[in-house]
Structure 1
Amino acid sequence: MTTTGRLYGVGLGPGDPELITLKAARLIEAADVVAYHAARHGRSNARAIAAGHLSEGQIEEALIYPVTTETTDHPGGYQGAIDEFYEQSAARLAAHLDAGRDVVVLAEGDPFFYGSYMHMHKRLADRYETTVVPGVTSVSAASAVLGRPLMERDEVLTVLPGTLPPAELAARLAATDSAAVMKLGRTFSGVRDALAEAGRLDDAWYVERATMSSERTGRLADVDPATVPYFSMALLPSPAAAAFGAPAPEPAAEGGVTVVGLGPGAGEWLTPEAKAAVAAADDVIGYGPYVDRVPANPRQRKHPSDNRVEAERAAFALDLAKRGRRVVVVSSGDPGVFAMAAAVLEVAEDPQWKDVPVRIVPGLTAAQAVASRAGAPLGHDFCILSLSDRLKPWPVIEKRLIAAAGADLVIAIYNPASKTRREQLVRAREVLLAHRAGQTPVIVGRDVGGPQESLRVTTLAELDPATVDMRCLLIIGSSQTRAVQRADGSTFVYTPRNYPA
């Protein structure tokens, strides 16, 4: 007889990993399956909080919402799409439970306090043994952050969702001693109007991401609605708390610049470290198309710019960081490969920015992405060259091409052509043909990881420079690189690990 697994709804607290309970930590570490909800960008606050307790070999189930606040073409509308998602998610967890695996569903705050876990509980708790582990709520965290009690003696605390109509909110706020209004974000203006109508605006405090590194607090009346994220709340503390006075002023922000590699384009190629760095930033700086790849966040300011102003972009980032802003500079691929890391570090040598922290977060390179799609052309020694002569003269590029070709290295070529640079690839092909056989395999990858991805395997003799643009990356094989036709008609390109004596 097969024994089913046990379902656990585990509260993680409001954000600070040190607020995870001992029981929650123990269950997370021992679980066969760890599940968590996330928006379509793939980031999960719950997983980030619990990351230090995840164990090797665990199965992770990311339950990705099909919609958040946007419209949907689902026949049942928004609610129909969400209900279907919950049913499918519950079925995924049930398959693990039926197989005898224990499943921990991570929940920010408390699982039964406006938590996504409850939707799994309603669908599964009648069929499987279930344990719910409470967590510190965001309301408790916000009160602690402000240093102001919620209520005392006979005072009444009311917890309200900001999604209520402003008139109903105002009536409830006027009739209670203290209150917490959850789910702000887009509802903030209506909540502020309701507090004003109830005559409570002057008593209201704002708390954003309580206990997290990006925590923010202040008088609610002073908050710019455009900067308010979903993970924030309005708090009316105990009337008796007026004796405590205003909370202590926040310490000055410690700014810094983090240069982040977004990878070649596909969302699944973005590393967790890069996701976390982008999510924590106050400002996002970069070439316009790369900045557009960063999900919208009402708390952040985006600063897109042209792709020919790297030094100016770096100086702007360092100046913002010097003033206490947390800045990310985004690059496609890896920031250290023909991208913004070198530009930022070069500009940072200026004494005026000597005290600004700079960190580099790596990303998957375009060369690696194209190589993986083709097979393993970088399986032996290789080099990477850029054909752009904007920052180095063509004679230097040609000299390096000759050296790489003479050394029989596989060559990954970045920036092979653009609208104004059409001759460089023509000349590069001529140089390489003087040292390589015409049948040398050539891979042309375009927009790999993006919506218009294409991959073509040709030869050095048949390579047509007119078909190559700035969105392409070329890999030129060595004398040992092989293109192998497969039974299904596809071609694998690889460079053997051994080189003949």
Structure 2
Amino acid sequence: MTSTRTGRLYGVGLGPGDPRLLTLRAVEVIREVEVVAFHSAQHGRSIARTIAAPHLREDHIEEALVYPLTTGTTDHPGGYRGALDTFYEEAAARLAAHLDAGRSVAVLSEGDPLVYSSYQHMHQRLADRYETEVVPGVSSISAAAAALGLPLTEADEVLTVLPGTLPQEELAARLASTDSAVVLKLGRTFPAVRGALERVGRLEEAYYVERATMGAQRVSPLADVDVDSVPYFSMAVLPSRQGRPAWADADAGHDVRRGEVTVVGLGPAGPLWLTPEARGAIARAEDLVGYTTYVDRVPHRAGQSRHCSDNKVESERAELALDLALRGRRVAVVSSGDPGVFAMASAVLEVACEARYAAVPVRVLPGLTAAHAAAARVGAPLGHDYATISLSDRLKPWAVIARRVEAVLEADLVLAVYNPASRQRRHQVSLLRDLALGHRKPDTPVVVARDVGGPTESVAVVDLASLDPDVVDMRTLLIIGSTQTTRAVRGDGSTVVWTPRRYPE
């Protein structure tokens, strides 16, 4: 239990910089406490103290918590992180001495005390021992949006807040997958942040806000910012994509008539298996084109047009997408699994190579394919050499399929079978089973995986001789093991299947 004889700890949010944005409670606390603590670099100047200065008393005890370093260079035995941990421990001890003496202590924090603040390190070390109050402040994130005059999010959009200190590839992945974003802690990290935005095609959407609400506030399109002119107190902002005013696109230098086609792999089912890059491309698209079942898997987004069609008109879908791009539209052609595996990428590229579409940019974004998803459910049946074959004879004759299946079986490869059956094609699984029994033992493990990742998922491992064609449809994927594929029951009762990496001499 906290002793009543000790002082009270306050984490006081000061807002983004303009002293007029302090809350009434923040002013009240600063005026009432006996000790005011603030962080600063080694030069001794503190933005936090400057903001709070109008409310400081002459008899305030001031504790300047001066960072020992501001870069990663140090001779501390624990490195940069060790040097900071030592500093935070010593700073907390200084404040604890005041609290133990019964004095109230306010630790000043720019923005909000619990959003990327220095106060957090004091809170973690002291709040469990002393009565504590956190006074929230206007975050620099809100201040940046106000400075831009643009909404950060609307409706179902997702806002992501990132530190610029993340590796560039991690920044790119997160910026690609979100609707709106704010990247804090620029300064030396600015080149990597700019590179990440450029990598995912969002540089033209981004804005730069420096010292929001302060006298030296600067706002501009991020692409126009000189890399050498960026201080720590700045941020990159990707505002809401919905309802952007025309002046916003004009100021950012957008070429609103630049069309493109991106063929996107949705993965086998559900958003958990959608890559960040694919998620970003879908969000950025003005038009979605695809087989109705696959388009229906993409959440509706305001302002986005959807063009659904039957599964048997791939060339027509490709033409529609490319025609829309010729009119300056950003188009995402969505495909289940990976678009390059028995899916739309081939159809789009075939049409895109016609002379009339030669100038249309086309990208293919990979997705998790059904064979890998099904294999993961049972272990590692694709752990060695394997082949993939579509059993559909709509685009190639059965004689070709049978010849290829025979070649795979003779080579002793694991076989992943796509499109094994449909409502009209019911005989081919039986033919496949009979072909396989000519090269495999009857107890060869076969994975029968249906709707993997979806609401009706079912995965079973059966003997080849027991494979029942009646349980197989177009949503099923089969994996037929090689002579080396192994099946075992583990201690928890689960069945696992794997193909060893080694092959006998």
For the aligned pair, the TM-score class normalised by the smaller chain equals: 0.5 to 0.7
Counterpart selection for 2:309 from 299, 302, 305: 305
Structure 1 match to 2:437: 433
Structure 1 match to 2:446: 442
Q: 1 CA distance for matches of 2:345 and 2:479?
A: 24
**CA shift in 2, pair 1:301/1:233, >3 Å:** closer
Structure 1 match to 2:504: 500
Counterpart selection for 1:460 from 443, 459, 464: 464
Please list every run of 5 or more consecutive structure 2 residues that lacks an aligned counterpart in the other structure.
1-10, 17-39, 41-109, 157-178, 182-196, 207-239
**How many residues in Structure 1 have an aligned counterpart in Structure 2?**
320
Shift of 1:493: 0.5
Structure 1 match to 2:393: 389
Q: 2 CA distance for matches of 1:356 and 1:393?
A: 33
Q: Deviation per CA, 1:378-402, whole angstroms, max 9, x where unpaired?
A: 0110000000000000000000000
Q: Deviation per CA, 1:276-317, whole angstroms, max 9, x where unpaired?
A: 111111001111111111111012111111110100000100
Contact 1:209–1:231 at 8 Å: present in 2 too?
no
Q: 2 CA distance for matches of 1:391 and 1:413?
A: 16
Shift of 1:253: 2.0
Structure 1 match to 2:495: 491
Q: 1 CA distance for matches of 2:380 and 2:152?
A: 51
Q: 1 CA distance for matches of 2:338 and 2:475?
A: 15
Contact 2:153–2:180 at 8 Å: present in 1 too?
no
Contact 1:185–1:230 at 8 Å: present in 2 too?
no
1:11-410 to 2 correspondences below 5 Å? 134-135=140-141, 137-142=144-149, 231-232=242-243, 251-410=255-414
Q: Deviation per CA, 1:427-455, whole angstroms, max 9, x where unpaired?
A: 11111111111111000000001111110
**CA shift in 2, pair 1:266/1:249, >3 Å:** closer
Shift of 1:137: 2.3
Please list every run of 5 or more consecutive structure 1 residues that lacks an aligned counterpart in the other structure.
1-5, 12-22, 24-109, 143-179, 187-207, 217-228, 238-245
Q: 2 CA distance for matches of 1:425 and 1:413?
A: 10
Counterpart selection for 2:418 from 414, 438, 448: 414
Q: Deviation per CA, 1:196-215, whole angstroms, max 9, x where unpaired?
A: xxxxxxxxxxxx98996685
Contact 2:487–2:498 at 8 Å: present in 1 too?
yes
Q: 1 CA distance for matches of 2:15 and 2:292?
A: 40
Q: 2 CA distance for matches of 1:397 and 1:259?
A: 27
Q: 2 CA distance for matches of 1:290 and 1:9?
A: 49
Q: 2 CA distance for matches of 1:127 and 1:462?
A: 68
Q: 1 CA distance for matches of 2:401 and 2:428?
A: 9
Contact 2:204–2:252 at 8 Å: present in 1 too?
no
Contact 1:209–1:215 at 8 Å: present in 2 too?
no
Q: Deviation per CA, 1:107-136, whole angstroms, max 9, x where unpaired?
A: xxx977xx9999xx9x99956799986246
Q: 2 CA distance for matches of 1:185 and 1:404?
A: 51
**CA shift in 2, pair 1:183/1:355, >3 Å:** closer
Q: TM-score, normalised to structure 2's length?
A: 0.56
Q: 1 CA distance for matches of 2:294 and 2:283?
A: 15
Larger Rg: 2
Structure 2 match to 1:146: none
Aligned-partner residue type, residue 134 of structure 1: S
Q: 2 CA distance for matches of 1:313 and 1:234?
A: 31
Contact 1:182–1:233 at 8 Å: present in 2 too?
no
**CA shift in 2, pair 1:329/1:116, >3 Å:** farther
Secondary structure of the structure 1 residue equivalent to 2:300: coil
Q: Deviation per CA, 1:32-88, whole angstroms, max 9, x where unpaired?
A: xxxxxxxxxxxxxxxxxxxxxxxxxxxxxxxxxxxxxxxxxxxxxxxxxxxxxxxxx
| RMSD of aligned Cα (Å) | 4.2
Aligned-partner residue type, residue 140 of structure 1: A
Q: 2 CA distance for matches of 1:233 and 1:403?
A: 57
Q: 2 CA distance for matches of 1:407 and 1:10?
A: 69
Structure 2 match to 1:154: none
Q: TM-score, normalised to structure 1's length?
A: 0.56
Q: 1 CA distance for matches of 2:465 and 2:354?
A: 48
**CA shift in 2, pair 1:128/1:182, >3 Å:** closer
Aligned-partner residue type, residue 344 of structure 1: V
Q: 1 CA distance for matches of 2:319 and 2:136?
A: 55
Structure 2 match to 1:165: none
Q: 2 CA distance for matches of 1:236 and 1:349?
A: 36
Q: 2 CA distance for matches of 1:182 and 1:129?
A: 24
Contact 1:183–1:233 at 8 Å: present in 2 too?
no
Q: 2 CA distance for matches of 1:183 and 1:497?
A: 49
Q: Deviation per CA, 1:352-403, whole angstroms, max 9, x where unpaired?
A: 0000000000000100000000110001100000000000000000000000
Q: 1 CA distance for matches of 2:313 and 2:323?
A: 15
Aligned-partner residue type, residue 345 of structure 2: A
Shift of 1:236: 12
